[in-house]
Chains A and B, each alone.
Chain A
Amino acid sequence: MLEFRLVQGSLLKKVLESIKDLVNDANFDCSATGFSLQAMDSSHVALVALLLRAEGFEHYRCDRSISMGMNLNNMSKMLKCAGNDDIITIKADDGSDTVTFMFESPTQDKISDFEMKLMDIDSEHLGIPDAEYHAIVRMPSVEFARICKDLSSIGDTVVISVTKEGVKFSTRGDIGSANIVCRQNTTVDKPEEATVIEMNEPVSLTFALRYMNSFTKATPLSNTVTISLSSDLPVVVEYKIAEMGYVRFYLAPKIEEDEDETKPQA
């Protein structure tokens, strides 16, 4: 038996919107400590890690850890039926192959029940080691989304370089090239508008803009985004979910390839 009651129901809607384009089916792992998800996209290039801690829910009950396989598109369809101010409750019985979403309107005069079929998904869980990143950039999420959108109209890949100067996003395409440099800027009125760069050593990595753009679907979840880069690791694009947890996107960089493996040396 599990039951989670989330007063800010729109949050769950936003979470689903942010990941459903990247991942089709995923297992939601429910344990006593919280509600989490880890899934790779179909081409195994990007990975989503979602955590909603138990403390963030008004009511959280999970008798034993279970993992519920859901089709994220279907789940999103159901959650779209919830109003933005609705309180969402997720319920599932032990051994049942369905999950119930209950939406209560703020005035309690409308209560809707949606039952969704679960599915068996054999997903692979990846161990993500804690790592020290060479550079961590925190910037307004809207700004990051804008940059990704703009650059994707020019090229397919973005080179993110972090130096002492700031963080540079550059791309190159058929029509030309573009560079966007964001300098560190902490002297703003609101802390969420600051751009903060913590750099241990300069990094420059290349990524597919298609994925980056898909990550920025999580922009409504948070005012700021944290981009952590290391030369030998996937980039982490993290959106914090206030007081509850996070959505983290991992994206494997594009790698300079010296030789084709199948091709023998002359």
Chain B
Amino acid sequence: MAEIETLGILQDIESLVADQLQVVSYKWLSRSYLIPSDTAKRLLQEFVEKHESGLQVVYALSGWLKNDPPSYHIRLVSGSKLPEAKQDFDGTCSIQVYSVQASIPKDPAALWNAEFVQAEELFKQPFTVDNCLRDNRFCGISNSYVKRSTDEIPASVAAPQPKTAVDGESTKKKTTCQNTTVPQPHKSEMQKVSPYVGLQSPTVVKEVKSESNHTEPFHQASKPIAAKEKIASLPASKKKAQSDKTSSSTGGSLANLWGRVPAKSKLGDNHADANHATAANPTVSSAEAQICAHEALQVDNSDDDDQHVNIKRSSNESGRKRRVVFDFSDDEDFEDAVSLASPENPKDQSCLDLKQNKELHKEKANSEDQLNGKLKIKEEKMSEFQQSSVEEKLHDSSAETNELSADEDDSNKIKKPTDAAPASPKRRKVLRTRTDERGREVNEVVWEGEEQKQKKDDVSSTKTSDHKAAETTTNRPPAAKKSPALGNSGAYPAVKSGGKKAGNAAGPKQGNILSFFKRV
């Protein structure tokens, strides 16, 4: 490495450590200056020799421990405890500078926070970008048998490779999350995965990929609709319902294969929020990032379904405070409703929702077209997913009155899929959080009316938005799942009018202080 460059980096380290009080570890250094990790360690060593005073050094000791049976051990010790720690090792041990910092952080996690955030960002880059984490170029150990190419995505990643931009974002972030939890094993993951890819020819993988895109969301979204139409019990629609079913069962095996993708990507989206925060505010939210990483691991490992994950999430996040969850289904008491939307930019969120829903619907329509060819192309043209869903209904059911009664039936009879709270589309869930007299945080879920009747047709949309809503507040009270059932069991017209009244009386919504003052 050229002398001048080295000097420049050393100066940079000095300013980072002294002025920005950042923990500079060799990993971070290697990634941000694109130098091999060995060089990074040497640079740090050089830096430590030059500036012995005014900084704290954390060394990485590795060697065999003295105790019996001997075990290989890698230990991080601060400079002051170095001689002491050396005694624990048998014979010689390697001593390398792990990181330099202005002071030893109170929280050990702060040591790797900077590199964690960095790794996260690297993984967040598009798959086509070949960065140093993906090709493992700075690692001292390399395996010449491992072939990496940027166009071919590891199978684990390829699975949810989406068509829509929105999904793409989220999946990407999901994988980011998964991978960043174990930045080192990433390469081994790649190795592990490649034989798997090898089993099937690449084209097969591709096919599966695209099909899963179609059928998978459809599979989830269509089920309730299919069921609904069956209950509507019109001869015309029966056929349709059946074909719907077949379509979903054709996708069955695939759906099993890729079944949890949307759940994950939704989750991933959520993670992305957290990640976003992390990126914006790395020092403050390191804990958040860790939680996120931790959860991603859990999601990765568990074979649980969506619902389970959700519960896990909520329990994870509400861990610190005592919470009381009140479940109100009456419409009067929601004056102080706290906005569910994200404080930064609620409109964006809603756009995303809308988009997602639209996409979902479009995909659904597409696959339906392909599979039974019954639906008119018209549907595709519909920009408004709600309208399209209504259209669809009108095609199949003969009379509106029938539909209405069927709807009522539905609300009582249908057992919705387990993965989401069954959504009553006419009404909107409003989560209120307040502190009661005893200092507990109280989450109340109240229902606010909505005049749009059609919305109820689109189960998937409400499902998604419900998800979203719950996610943005980041604390989804488990009891919320009951309230829609409560709402549904009521006679529909009555509920509707009640909801409307409440909607008018609602008046203003409580603003959020975060929409006025920005975090610093």
- Residue numbers of A with Cβ under 8 A of B are 21-22, 24, 40-47, 73, 120, 122, 124-129, 156-157, 206, 208, 210, 233-234, 250-257, 260-266
Query: In the complex, what residues of B have CB within 8 A of residue A127's CB?
Result: 517-520
Tell me the smallest distance from the CB of A218 to a CB of chain B, in Å.
Answer: 17
- Partner among A41, A208, A262 whose Cβ is within 8 Å of the Cβ of B428: A262
Query: In the complex, what residues of A have CB within 8 A of residue B450's CB?
Result: 260, 263
Query: In the complex, what residues of B have CB within 8 A of residue A124's CB?
Result: 281, 284, 519
Closest B residue by C-beta to A251: B513
Contact across chains for B513 and A45 when beta carbons are under 8 A apart: yes
Contact across chains for B512 and A252 when beta carbons are under 8 A apart: yes
- Partner among A45, A122, A251 whose Cβ is within 8 Å of the Cβ of B284: A122
With A42-B321, A122-B287 known as contacts, the answer to whether A21 contacts B519 (CB < 8 A) is no
Tell me the smallest distance from the CB of A177 to a CB of chain B, in Å.
Answer: 13
Closest A residue by C-beta to B349: A261
Segment 17-39 of B: residues with Cβ below 8 Å from A? none
A127 and B281 CA atoms in complex are apart in Å by 14
Closest A residue by C-beta to B353: A262
- Partner among B347, B353, B435, B452 whose Cβ is within 8 Å of the Cβ of A42: B435
Stretch of B8-16, B135-143, B336-344 contacting A (4+ beta carbons < 8 Å) = B336-344
Tell me the smallest distance from the CB of A263 to a CB of chain B, in Å.
Answer: 6
With A261-B349, A264-B386 known as contacts, the answer to whether A126 contacts B517 (CB < 8 A) is yes
Interface centre among A122, A254, A264, A265 (most CB of B within 10 A): A264
A-B contact count (CB 8 A): 130
Stretch of B80-88, B111-119, B396-404, B502-510 contacting A (4+ beta carbons < 8 Å) = B502-510
Main secondary structure of the interface of B (DSSP, over half): mixed
Contact across chains for B341 and A261 when beta carbons are under 8 A apart: yes
Q: Known A-B contacts: A252-B511, A257-B508, A263-B428. Give 6 more (CB < 8 A).
A: A41-B435, A46-B513, A262-B353, A262-B468, A263-B455, A264-B386
| Interface residues as binary, B302-344 with A (CB distance below 8 Å gives 1, 0 otherwise) | 0000000000000000000100000000000001101001010
A265 and B468 CA atoms in complex are apart in Å by 18
Closest B residue by C-beta to A41: B435
Q: Does B48 sit within 8 A of A, measured CB to CB?
A: no
8 residue pairs bridging A and B, Cβ less than 8 Å apart:
A22-B435, A42-B435, A43-B435, A126-B520, A127-B518, A127-B519, A252-B515, A262-B468
- Partner among A21, A126, A261, A263 whose Cβ is within 8 Å of the Cβ of B513: A126
Segment 339-386 of B: residues with Cβ below 8 Å from A? 341, 343, 346-347, 349-350, 353-354, 357, 384-386
With A22-B435, A127-B520, A261-B347 known as contacts, the answer to whether A43 contacts B468 (CB < 8 A) is no
Query: In the complex, what residues of B have CB within 8 A of residue A260's CB?
Result: 428, 448, 450
Query: In the complex, what residues of B have CB within 8 A of residue A255's CB?
Result: 508-511
A265 and B519 CA atoms in complex are apart in Å by 33
Q: Does B412 sit within 8 A of A, measured CB to CB?
A: no
A44 and B339 CA atoms in complex are apart in Å by 10
With A44-B343, A208-B336, A262-B465 known as contacts, the answer to whether A126 contacts B519 (CB < 8 A) is yes
Tally B residues with Cβ within 8 Å of A: 54
Contact across chains for B350 and A261 when beta carbons are under 8 A apart: yes
Tell me the smallest distance from the CB of B164 to a CB of chain A, in Å.
Answer: 17
Contact across chains for A45 and B511 when beta carbons are under 8 A apart: yes
Closest A residue by C-beta to B354: A264
- Partner among B357, B434, B439, B461 whose Cβ is within 8 Å of the Cβ of A43: B434
- Partner among B341, B349, B461, B511 whose Cβ is within 8 Å of the Cβ of A254: B511
Closest B residue by C-beta to A125: B520
A126 and B519 CA atoms in complex are apart in Å by 4
Contact across chains for A256 and B508 when beta carbons are under 8 A apart: yes
Query: In the complex, what residues of A have CB within 8 A of residue B347's CB?
Result: 261
A124 and B288 CA atoms in complex are apart in Å by 13
Contact across chains for B517 and A128 when beta carbons are under 8 A apart: yes
- Partner among A24, A120, A253 whose Cβ is within 8 Å of the Cβ of B435: A24
Query: In the complex, what residues of B have CB within 8 A of residue A129's CB?
Result: 517
Query: In the complex, what residues of A have CB within 8 A of residue B517's CB?
Result: 47, 126-129, 234, 250
Segment 190-210 of B: residues with Cβ below 8 Å from A? none
A266 and B336 CA atoms in complex are apart in Å by 27
A98 and B18 CA atoms in complex are apart in Å by 28
Closest B residue by C-beta to A71: B439
Query: In the complex, what residues of B have CB within 8 A of residue A233's CB?
Result: 516
With A43-B433, A262-B428 known as contacts, the answer to whether A253 contacts B519 (CB < 8 A) is no
